[in-house]
Amino acid sequence: MLCQLSARFDPRRDVAPWLSERAAAERRGRAGSADTWGNNLETLYIINVERNGNVLYTWKGAQEYTNIGLYDHNSKKNQHLYTFEKDLRVISCSINHEKTLLAISFLQTAQEEKKLLFQPVSKCLTLLIEIHPLNNVKVLKAVDSYVRVQFLYPVTEKKLFPDSCLLLISEDKYVEKLDIRTVKEGDRVMIENSSRLSKERIADDFIWYQWDMLEQRLFYIVTKEERDTLNGIQFYPNKDFKLILEAPLEISLTDIRLKSVNLDYSYYQDQEPIPKPLDVRVFTSDVGSLCLCYSLATLNSKEVTYSVCFLHKGYSKTYTTTLEKMDSLEIKELAFLDLDSYVAAYLPGRFLHLLNTQHPDLICHSFFLTGEDAEINQLNTSTVFSPVKSSILDRSTGRIFTVAMNQKALLQFLWNSKLDNDKLAALHCLLLHVGSTVDLENQIIQWISDNVSTCFAFDPIQELIIASLYWKMCLESINLEKLLPYTSLLNWKEDVPGILCKTHIISLPFLKVQNCKGFWEKLNLNLEYVKYVEPPLHFSHQVLRREWNKLLSDQKTAARTTYIKSIFENTKKVLSSLNTWETEERIAPLFQDEDYQQRLLTGLMVAQLKDHLLRPLQYVGKKKIDQIAVDYVSKLLDLICRMMENIWRKYSLSSLSFSFRQQGKANEIIVFHIMCQILQATSGMCLPLPPGFHTLHLEIGMRCFPLHTVLQYVDHGVLHLTEKYVMNLWKELDNTEKNVKLKLSILTRLPQAIGCKICQLWNHSLSSNAIARNYVKLLFEKLRNKQCNILFTDRISAQIEFLPLNYLVAIIVEMEHQGWAASMEQTNMNARLVEELALKHTTMLLGL
C-alpha cells in the first residue's frame, strides 16, 4: 500500500485502559454502587479534535450518564471534564486553549423528550461551562436547529490575549463569534460578566461551510444572483478576522442540504436516514494550492464522476471512471482525503486516485490505482474523512491516523509498474513529495539502469535529473518554484487506463486583502503567475540550446573572447565544488581529461541560469543568484557522476584497465548502452556532462564493437572523439597496415584543432598528407576571408576534373613570402613540401 497509516489516536489503546482503571477504583471505593464510569467502548464517540491535537470524546456509564473526556496529545493522558446525569446526544464540543471553558451543543434523546412531553423544550441546547474547577453553566443557545461550537486557538501556542473566542455555527445559516473574558479568583477561573458576552456576526446565508482547524480558517459557500461563491475567512491571534477570499464557482449548489465539514465527528450522526447531498471539500497546502473537490451521490453503478477545481491554476478537471458491475447495495460514498501535496479520491475496493495538487497539469503526475494498490488498510469510506492535513479519522472505530507516502512501497511499485504513467507518477512522488535524498536517488538509479529502455513516453534519466534538482533547489532557496523546471515533459498524450479526464477553464479567485502572509501570500503569487505570466517562467533548455549552437558557430572576436573567458570562469566555480570526485576514492574514472566543449557548455548553462533568475529575483542580489546558478549545475554534474558510480559498481567495472588491445566483456556492452542513454538524455535537454565522460564512453565502445561500428557511432554523434583518447590510441598502436587504416579513419573524423596535434605526433606519410591538406585549406580560407575570388574545396576527390597545379604552387609560394607561413610554424610545414604533395596528388588524379 502506497499510503502508510500510523494510529495517532486509538480509543482501545489510549482511552480504554484509563476507563477501566477509573471504573475499578470507583468500585473499590463504593462497594456495590452503580458503575457510573462504565467501560463500554461501543458508547465512546469522538466529537472533536482541537488544533493542538487534543481529542474530545464522550462515553456512557451503566446509568446512561453522558461523560465528556479529553485525551491530551502531548502528555498522552486522559482527563474527565464533565458529566451530564442523563442521556444526551452530543453533536459538538470544544475546549479552550487553557482548558478552563467547555462549550457543548447537544440534542435531547427520545427518552428525555418523553420525560419533558408536557414542557416546552428546544431541540438543541448549547452551553458554556466553567470547568477549572466546575463552576457555572451558561446557556448560549436554546433552539430547534443544530449549532456547532468551536473555540479559536492562537496560531502560536503562546497565549497572546486573555480572552477566549468561540464560534457558534448555526444550521440557520449564520456564524457568530463570542469574545469571552475570564478572571481568576483564587483557584477558580470564572467568566467575567457572563450575562453580557460580546457577540459579532461573521457570516450569513451560507449553504455549506468547512472549518480548517490547523490554519484557523473558515470556508463557506454563499448563493448570489449570478453564481455561488466560495468565501474564506482568516482568524488571527489578536481576535481579528478578515474575509480574504472570494472565488466564483462554476457549479450550482442551491439544492444542497446544509452540511458541516470538519465539525461533524460523531459516528452515529452518519446513521441518520438522510439522502447524501453533494459532497464538497476544500483542500489547501503550504505551497499555496487551493482545491475544491466535489462529487454527486453515486446513482449509476457503472460510473463514478468527480471534479477537482484547481483554483490556484485557473482550471478544473472532471474525472470519470468506469467500474465493474456491482450490486447497488455495495455502492459506497466516494471520500476525499487531504494528503498534503496530494488529494485522494477514494472508493474502497474500487480505486484510489491520488491527485498531485502542486503539479496537476499532466495527468501522468498523479496516481490512478486499482486492486491491491488502491487499498488503505481496509478503511470504511462511509465514516472516513480528513480533519486536518495528512490525517484520517475512521469514525466507525474512533481511530485517528497519520498518513504518509510509503517510500518502500513506492519503490516497489516503481519496480513492478508496467505502464509509463505509473512509473512517472511514482518517480515524481518519490523525488518531489517524499523528498530526494542520496540514498533514494541511488535506488532510483538502480531502477533506471535496469529499466531505462522500457520507458517509451518519457525519459527516466531526464526526469530524475530535473525533478531531483527542482526539489533540492526549491528546498534550499525561496521563490524558485516558478523559475526552475520540475519535469522534462511538455505534454502527455497517452491515456491512463481506467479513467477519463476533461479540463475546463474556470474563473480565478479574488483576494480582497493584500499583503497577507503564509498561505494567502503564496496563493496570491500563484494567482498572479496564472494571470500575468505568458509564456511560463520556467528555465528553457531550448533557449540554452540556441545559445550553445550560436556560441559554437560564432566567429572569434574580442567581445566573444571576453564572453568565453567569463564562461570558463563559471566552469571553474562549478568544478571546484566537485573536487571531491577527483580526490576521493571513486571507481568510475571520470575527471581524467578536460573536454573543451563540455566545459564550455557547463559555464554557458551557469550564465544562462544567472540571466534567467536575475530578472524576477533582483531583490535577492547578484551574488546570491550567482551561487544558486553554480549550485544548480554542480548538483546536476554530481548526480550524473553518481549515476556513473552506481553503474560502475553494479557491473563490476572497478578492476578493469581500458586498452584498445583488450576485448570487451558482456557487462561492458551493457554499460556502453546505459552511457548512450545518459548521453541521449543530456543532449536532448542540452545538459553538460562531467569531464572525461566522452573519453570513457569511447574507450568502452572501441573495446566492445568492431571498427566500422564505432566509426558509425562517431559519424552519428553517439561517440565523441576526444584528444586524450586519440593521443593514447596513437601511442598504443604501431604503424602496421591494419593500424594505419584505423588511424587514418580516426584522423579524417577529428576536429581540426585535435587533428593538427595528432599529425605532429604521427611520423607517417599519411600524417604529412593530412597536414598538407590542412595547410592548404587554411591558406585558402584566409584568402576567402580577404574576398579573393578563388575556388576552394575541403579535400581532393574524384569529382574534381582539373587541378591548376602551377597556379596552386604559385599562390602557396606567394603567400609564404608574404609571411603567412610564419603563422603555421606549429605544423612544421613549408611550401616546398606542400608543393610536392600537391604534385603527387595531381599526377595520381590524372593517372600520369
- pLDDT of 733-780, one tens digit each? 777 777 777 777 787 777 766 766 666 665 555 555 555 555 555 555
Work out the average pLDDT over 380-386: 74
How high is the pLDDT of residue 511? Answer: 94
What is the C-alpha separation between 67 and 87, in angstroms, rounded? 9
Dihedral of alpha carbons 25, 30, 32, 34, sign: negative
- Does residue 791 surpass a pLDDT of 50? no
C-alpha cell at 471: 526539489
- The torsion angle over the Cα atoms of residues 134, 139, 143 and 146, rounded to 10 degrees, is -40
What is the C-alpha separation between 587 and 656, in angstroms, rounded? 10
Q: Which residue has the higher pLDDT, 831 or 183?
A: 183
Q: In what helix (H) or strand (E) does residue 185 lie, and over which residues does it extend? A: strand 174-185
Question: Count of residues for the chain?
Answer: 848
Q: Which residue has the higher pLDDT, 309 or 728?
A: 309
User: What is the DSSP track for 794-835?
Assistant: SS--TT-----HHHHHHHHHHHHHTTGGGGGGGGT--HHHHH
Question: Alpha carbon 416 to chain centroid distance?
Answer: 22
- Does residue 71 surpass a pLDDT of 90? yes
How high is the pLDDT of residue 803? Answer: 43
| Planar angle of CA 278, 281, 287, nearest 5 degrees | 155
- Residue 362 backbone zone (phi > 0: left; psi -120 to 50: alpha; other: beta): beta
Lowest mean pLDDT among 158-172, 390-404, 619-633, 754-768: 754-768
How high is the pLDDT of residue 681? Answer: 96
How high is the pLDDT of residue 769? Answer: 56
How high is the pLDDT of residue 749? Answer: 78
- Whether the Cβ atoms of residue 336 and residue 279 lie closer than 8 Å to each other: yes
| Planar angle of CA 44, 46, 51, nearest 5 degrees | 150
Q: Which residues contact 174 (CB under 8 A, 6 or more apart)?
A: 201, 202, 203, 204, 205, 206
Beta-ladder partners of 48: 56
**522-539: b (≥16 Cβ within 10 Å) or e:** bbbbbbebbeeeeeebbb
Lowest mean pLDDT among 124-133, 270-279, 322-331, 730-739: 270-279
Beta strand pairing status for 399-405 and 303-310? Answer: unpaired
- Does residue 205 surpass a pLDDT of 80? yes
* Helix, strand, coil in percent for the chain, rounding step 5: 40, 25, 35
C-alpha cell at 231: 468565501
How high is the pLDDT of residue 655? Answer: 57
How high is the pLDDT of residue 384? Answer: 82
Dihedral of alpha carbons 728, 730, 735, 741, sign: positive
Per-residue pLDDT tens over the stretch 51-62: 999 999 999 877
- Whether the Cβ atoms of residue 352 and residue 346 lie closer than 8 Å to each other: yes
Mean pLDDT of the chain: 82
C-alpha cell at 391: 490525517
Residue with cell 482545491: 291
Asked, as a colleague might, if the bond just before 535 is cis with ω within 30 of 0, I would say: yes
SS3 230: strand
- Whether the Cβ atoms of residue 284 and residue 519 lie closer than 8 Å to each other: yes
Beta strand pairing status for 315-322 and 335-339? Answer: unpaired
**Which residue type, as a one-letter code, is found at position 696?**
L
How high is the pLDDT of residue 693? Answer: 93
Q: What is the DSSP letter of 162?
A: S
Q: Which residues contact 788 (CB under 8 A, 6 or more apart)?
A: none
Q: Which residues contact 658 (CB under 8 A, 6 or more apart)?
A: 589, 696, 699, 700, 703
What is the C-alpha separation between 561 and 577, in angstroms, rounded? 25
This prediction has a pTM of 0.84
- Residue 553: pLDDT band with limits 50, 70, 90: confident
- Residue 633: pLDDT band with limits 50, 70, 90: very high
How high is the pLDDT of residue 76? Answer: 94
- Whether the Cβ atoms of residue 705 and residue 713 lie closer than 8 Å to each other: yes
How high is the pLDDT of residue 793? Answer: 36
Beta-ladder partners of 169: 148, 175
SS3 542: helix
How high is the pLDDT of residue 36? Answer: 55
Lowest mean pLDDT among 122-136, 425-439, 553-567: 553-567
Lowest mean pLDDT among 30-39, 359-368, 540-549, 582-591: 30-39
Question: Alpha carbon 364 to chain centroid distance?
Answer: 13
Report the percentage of the chain scoring pLDDT > 70.
78
- Does residue 842 surpass a pLDDT of 80? no
